[in-house]
């Protein structure tokens, strides 16, 4: 009897290994065929990676399905692990539920990463709207997958009302912060006060919105660092969004010149700098036109401001640096002095003993 069981076990293992080898060999042949077709440029952009990803995961799921159905007549596969109400949960039911959920997650990633971007490009949707559609599609598909998996296992969803009530109380007391950030994330996705790709200022730090998750939003700074901000921050606090509505941004470049300088010449030179930068940069706009503002009379300089408009806030640092280089060069070439702060010290009187000590030294 023991020998018979051992022989059956060896046979099952060999059959399983043989099926796995066949599936991997078929996967290899398909990938080789796709590579040959790719050399002939017969696939549009984005299709081949989606097909390869689908083949890889199809192979894994095919092996899992074979194991489930091949060992469906074994006792250990259907043994009771625990019970929820009148439903006995076995390893087979757990694997089926995990199979449905993981398959839905994989399909969501394939569709949002490879199949939907060509549609977005066709209808010229911005990055933030694309991200919103991807999140809504993913959440919807996962909810459907969870409901299907629970139904497949045999759980009556109406029996979960008590559990849902307990969960609601738990969210109200112990998870209100998480629930607040989750709801805030949904508000951000639909109301879109910020969206992926926006240039924002968080606590005097400039960064770009990189990702909006269920609980937090990821901000990538200009130094390529990541700031993880709770979603509720963008609903409750004041946030500067340079990209909201209109992506145009006015740059203010301050400059001070020495007293006695020709202010009309300074204005002409500043406008010339703006014109030169506009010819060299694709970000400087023709309208509104650059303006020179005579700010006032400072302690040691005549203070001016050059107002110039750019098409995107992401070019602010580069454009402002270029303007400063040009300002320094053109003012120096035209003999306009850029002063530095000076303080004159006037000594009205000193004690005679102190004067004598200074003379002795």
Alpha-carbon distance 262 to 272, whole Å? Answer: 15
Cα–Cα dist 196/358, whole Å:
69
d(CA 111, CA 347): 80
**pLDDT at residue 31, as a whole number:** 76
Average pLDDT over residues 69-87: 72
d(CA 76, CA 91): 8
Q: Residues near 205 by Cβ (< 8 Å), separated by ≥ 6? A: 219, 221, 227
Across the range 305-317, mean pLDDT stands at 91
pLDDT band (50, 70, 90) for residue 303: very high
* pLDDT of the residue at 47: 60
Mean pLDDT over each residue of the chain, to the nearest integer: 80
- pLDDT value at position 320? 93
- 314's enclosing H/E stretch is none
Given this model, what pLDDT does residue 134 score?
86
Beta strands in 288-351 (DSSP E): 291-297, 302-310
The answer on pLDDT for 318 being more than 70 is yes
- The model's pLDDT over 1-40, given as tens digits with 9 standing for 90+, comes to 545 555 666 777 787 788 888 888 888 887 777 777 665 5
Give percent of the chain above pLDDT 70.
80
Q: State percent of the chain over pLDDT 90.
A: 20
Q: What is the pLDDT of residue 306?
A: 94
pTM, whole model, 2 decimals? 0.54
Dist CA 68 CA 94 (whole Å): 11
CA distances from 257 to 84, 198, 218, 271, 334 (A): 81, 36, 42, 15, 12
Rounded to an integer, the average pLDDT of 83-108 is 79
DSSP 115: I
**pLDDT of res. 191:** 83
Segment 139-151 shows an average pLDDT of 84
């Amino acid at each position: 009897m023991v020998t018979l069981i051992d022989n059956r076990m060896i046979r099952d293992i060999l059959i399983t290994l043989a099926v796995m080898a066949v599936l991997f060999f078929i996967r290899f042949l398909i990938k080789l065929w796709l590579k040959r077709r790719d050399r002939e440029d017969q696939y549009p952009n984005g299709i081949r990676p989606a097909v390869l990803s689908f083949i890889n995961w199809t192979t894994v799921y095919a092996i899992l399905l074979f194991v489930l159905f091949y060992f469906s007549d074994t006792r250990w596969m259907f043994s009771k692990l625990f019970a929820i109400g009148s439903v006995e949960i076995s390893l087979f039911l757990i694997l089926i539920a995990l199979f449905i959920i993981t398959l839905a997650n994989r399909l969501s990633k394939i569709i949002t990463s490879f199949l939907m971007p060509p549609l977005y490009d066709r209808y010229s949707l911005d990055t933030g709207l694309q991200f919103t559609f991807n999140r809504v599609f993913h959440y919807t598909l996962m909810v459907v997958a969870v409901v299907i998996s629970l139904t497949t296992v045999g759980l009556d969803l109406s029996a979960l009302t008590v559990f849902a009530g307990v969960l609601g109380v738990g969210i109200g007391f112990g998870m209100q912060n998480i629930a607040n950030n989750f709801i805030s994330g949904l508000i951000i996705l639909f109301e879109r006060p910020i969206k992926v790709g926006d240039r924002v200022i968080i606590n005097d730090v400039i960064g770009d919105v990189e990702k909006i998750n269920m609980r937090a939003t990821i901000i990538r700074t200009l130094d390529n660092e990541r700031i993880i901000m709770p979603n509720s921050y963008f609903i409750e606090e004041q946030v500067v969004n340079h990209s909201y509505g209109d992506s145009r941004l006015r740059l203010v470049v301050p400059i001070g010149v020495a007293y006695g300088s020709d202010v009309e010449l300074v204005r002409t030179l500043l406008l010339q700098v703006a014109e030169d930068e506009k010819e060299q940069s694709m970000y400087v706009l023709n309208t509104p036109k650059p303006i020179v503002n005579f700010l006032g009379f400072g302690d040691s300089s005549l203070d001016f401001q050059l107002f110039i408009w750019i098409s995107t806030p992401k070019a602010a640092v580069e454009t402002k640096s270029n303007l400063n280089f040009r300002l320094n060069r053109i003012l120096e070439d035209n003999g306009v002095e850029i002063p530095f702060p000076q303080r004159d010290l006037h000594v009205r009187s000193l004690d005679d003993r102190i004067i004598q000590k200074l003379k002795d030294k």
